[in-house]
Structure 1
């Protein structure tokens, strides 16, 4: 990824004029809501001329402020938490309506993108795999952890990797064609992610990738890819569609092996009671 505007400012800050530094400092202080300001706003709020604002943006590699706003929206599409609509969370209950509409649209897009026969194939693999390993980094880690917790109620041999502060290699080595890896790869992935996907070229397990659209380039390297949009009405991504998909997969597995799944759930519940682990 080319350096974003904040990185460009940091790299060139010492070379800027005093007036340009005032604008640059304001941008850094208000980076999260950069797309909300106009060039005139920046001029007024920093006490410099519009020509100074324009000159700064040209020095940073932008033709004009419209290019800066497009740049800010592109950063948001890559997962950087930027406010692009100042009114997104305003208006009493209206914000809840907009939030609901966006969540419903995300879920519709998830379900519309899954072919029933592909879903059934994945469920059969979930049932028949010798072991299932769920893998996630950064924001994908809690999704991998939740997926493991759901699946292990219906079947045994479900592992989470990597464990906190542990490496991944020893978790993947030894996996074979009878095993399944569920890899979560949502945007703002760590650099190691691409290497992990490439490593599956030499590891003969099946791989299900659950991610947003930015992971489309990995599709040819995995057995299945299910796409979950993260769009929200403001700065922070929403993982509701991904959590719903995990529920759908876990329920699909349970109903595919209903007798064994019920027996395991009953056994787990009985042991909960013996260990007195859960509150009434």
Structure 2
């Protein structure tokens, strides 16, 4: 495994972030009947250790399969010991893991995909991403968190967009398209000692919000940068792989989109799509967005910028 792989080295954060003073519900509130949403509700209100949060994160990612996993299988999935799974179940108020699994089968029955056992590892990775997209669709059944995020991003002039290491490409993609409709987008995709200076400059220029893409493994620098941004007065909107990610505690509004972990390097189809959804929500709150797009198309045609 490379330095940017999977969640093996990532320690998920301490639960759902503070949604702030707005009227938006926590992510997932619009899909209360989904297995993942039920699992998140089960974990809320419990003080979990880093190892237990890691188990919770793994269960949310594989919500449809969890009711059929043994404690040993869940331990292997989360990369922890079997006794850790037992202690996790007790921490949630159950007599042990069998009682927890019985509860999960009663309240969040899994739907196993017929023929999935015959898939090769590449097909399984694709199927896992399809499941991540289905989960994202369930979360978007309540559009209010995304709409609130769109308002925050549209109102920020300038708009800093942060993404380091594995998340740098997500931030770049968002900033590339956002610059076509937003008057001042500032990409922060390289870490180092100057990143706080660039946040200070954005605040002096009038920024009110920052968008962050945070994917595993989560760099400590991202957590520190988001804490600094909040101290500077910015509202932090974060797209992360889980509501239990380490960045949750330093985000004002966290929007989860799971990554795929079936290959040597994580896949991030759901976070990318959620970024495009955020762009759409932001455009809805930029009255001149359509005019800017038409102006760009006219200039591109005049320059013969594209061959199609």
The interval holding the TM-score normalised by the smaller chain is 0.5 to 0.7
8 A contact 1:162–1:171 mirrored in 2: no
Alignment of 1:97-136 (within 5 A): 98-114=124-140, 115-136=142-163
Alpha carbons of 1:118 and 1:126: their partners in 2 closer, same or farther (altered >3 Å)?
Answer: same
Partner of 1:228: 257
Normalised by the length of structure 2, the TM-score is: 0.56
- Partner secondary structure for residue 177 of structure 2: helix
Deviation at 1:217, TM superposition (A): 3.8
**Which residue does 2:299 correspond to in 1?**
271
Distance 2:307 2:79 in 1: 46
Q: Which runs of 5+ in 1 are unaligned?
A: 1-66, 76-89
More helix by share: 1
2:217 to 188, 195, 211: 188
Match of 1:16 in 2: none
Deviates more, 1:119-128 or 1:177-186: 177-186
- 1:141 equivalent to 2:168? Answer yes
- After superposition, the Cα gap between the structure-2 partners of 1:200 and 1:256, relative to the gap in structure 1 and judged at 3 Å, is closer
Instruction: Give the Cα separation in 1 of the matches to 2:237 and 2:264.
Output: 28
The alignment's C-alpha RMSD in Å is 3.2
SS of the residue corresponding to residue 249 of structure 1 reads helix
Alignment of 1:15-164 (within 5 A): 74=79, 98-114=124-140, 115-162=142-189
Q: After TM superposition, give the deviation of residue 166 of structure 1 in Å.
A: 8.1
Q: Which structure's relative contact order is higher, taking Cα pairs within 8 Å and 6+ residues apart? A: 2
Specify whether residues 200 and 254 from structure 1 end up closer, same or farther in structure 2 by C-alpha distance, changes over 3 A only: closer
Summarize the Cα distance change of 1:239–1:152 in structure 2 as closer, same or farther, 3 Å threshold: same
- Alignment: residue pair count: 199
Change (3 A) 1:203 1:157: same
1:260 Cα offset (Å): 1.3
Q: Structure 1: how far apart are the matches of 2:223 and 2:136?
A: 23
- Pair 214,256 (structure 1): closer, same or farther in 2 beyond 3 Å: closer
CA deviation string 1:96-150 (max 9, x = no partner): 6534431221012223335422221111122222221111111100100001112
What CA distance in whole angstroms lies between the structure 1 residues aligned with 2:193 and 2:227? 20
Q: How far apart in 2 are the matches of 1:135 and 1:127?
A: 16
The alpha-carbon deviation at position 174 of structure 1 amounts to 3.7
Larger Rg: 1
Kindly indicate whether the alpha-carbon contact (under 8 Å) linking 2:209 and 2:234 is maintained by their aligned counterparts in 1: yes
Structure 2 SS opposite 1:155: coil
